[in-house]
Amino acid sequence: MERFIQYTISGLSTGSVYALVALGLALIYRSTRVLNFAHGDVTTAGAFMAFALLGMNMPFAAAALLGLLFGAAIATGFYFSILVPAQRRDATQLGQIILTLGLGLIIQGLVTYLGGTEPHSFPFPLSEFKIYRLGHITMSQLSLGTLGISLFCCLLFYLLVQKTRIGLAMRATSENLAAAQTLGIPTRQVLAFSWGLAALLGVLAGLFLAPALILDPFFMLEPFLKGFAAAILGGLNSLPGAIVGGLILGVAESLAGGFISIAFKNTLAFLIIILVLLVRPEGLLGEEFKERV
């Protein structure tokens, strides 16, 4: 029982990071029906920006904030300079997805060129080696901080979407773009804000993953895939579903790795996703998307 609790808590810590990645993907898909395959690479760019600023002896809080804003600026700039012109030329959804893939490849090349391919150790104020014990349950300072801060940010995100004017505008735009425009909502600005906020959530996840992993131009590849899987599991058009999917995926991985084998944990997690989607294709909390014509 103690091992079960230990693996569950560890899984929740990892799953909370997956939830941040999944939230960003679900937010963009819910707003624009576009799968953003550059999400992981934008996160990598933000993490490398924070790392470069830390190398200039900038305080961690300032470097992290600028890294978050840098990622948000890339996503917002991409939306205004590439995606909007493509939409005005009636680009298909597949075409827009390919544009995000192209952005990801460009960022990969630039990060590799400017940052090099050598792995880096990412300095972080929370230690992975400082351990807290509660009976036979142990958690590192980094894991506890990751779980607490990630869930707190998910709560802030929920309050932003549900309780603020900009959140109301985001929901109206995602539900019916034409009606939102008729009501005078500046939909382009709202959608750009959604892209920037999604990137900010992704970079935040990257800042927690960087000290646990080795920072290199491809360190977000696997977390991006896990976040994408979590978004599908919870429902791509459901923001609460993205959080639930991330937590379930993290716990499933941890339990499989602890009780079966490390090599099997990824397999079991995706088997769960397949089984869920066979029963409920729209995901656990998602709803079938019906487009008005």
- Which CATH number is 230's domain given? 1.10.3470
pLDDT at 288: 63
- Coil, helix or strand at residue 133: strand
Number of domains making up the chain = 1
| E strand or H helix that includes residue 73 | helix 60-78
Closest CA to 111 of 55, 38, 196, 48: 48
For the chain, what percent of residues have pLDDT higher than 70? 98
Residue 26 · residue 241 · CB < 8 Å: yes
pLDDT at 235: 87
Q: Is the pLDDT of residue 291 over 90?
A: no
Domain that holds residue 28: 2-279
Residue 146 lies in a domain: yes
Mean pLDDT across 207-220: 89
**Beta-sheet strands, E only, within the chain:** 131-134, 137-140
Closest CA to 288 of 246, 249, 238, 226: 238
Residue 292 lies in a domain: no
Residue 286 lies in a domain: no
pLDDT at 15: 92
Band of the pLDDT at 263, cuts 50, 70, 90? confident
pLDDT at 135: 74
Q: Is the pLDDT of residue 113 over 70?
A: yes
Band of the pLDDT at 106, cuts 50, 70, 90? very high
Residue 131 · residue 140 · CB < 8 Å: yes
For residue 114, the one-letter residue type is L
Tens of pLDDT along 3-36?
Answer: 888 888 888 999 999 999 999 999 999 888 899 9
- The angle that helices 187-212 and 60-78 make with each other, rounded to 10 degrees, is 140
pLDDT at 3: 81
Residue 47 · residue 110 · CB < 8 Å: no
pLDDT at 120: 87
Residue 273 lies in a domain: yes
pLDDT at 293: 45
Residue 255 lies in a domain: yes
Residue 102 lies in a domain: yes
Residue 39 lies in a domain: yes
pLDDT at 289: 53
For the chain, what percent of residues have pLDDT higher than 90? 45
The torsion angle over the Cα atoms of residues 106, 110, 113 and 114, rounded to 10 degrees, is -170
Residue 176 lies in a domain: yes
Task: Look over the chain and give the mean of its residue pLDDT values, rounded to a whole number.
Answer: 88
Q: Is the pLDDT of residue 60 over 70?
A: yes
Mean pLDDT across 228-235: 89
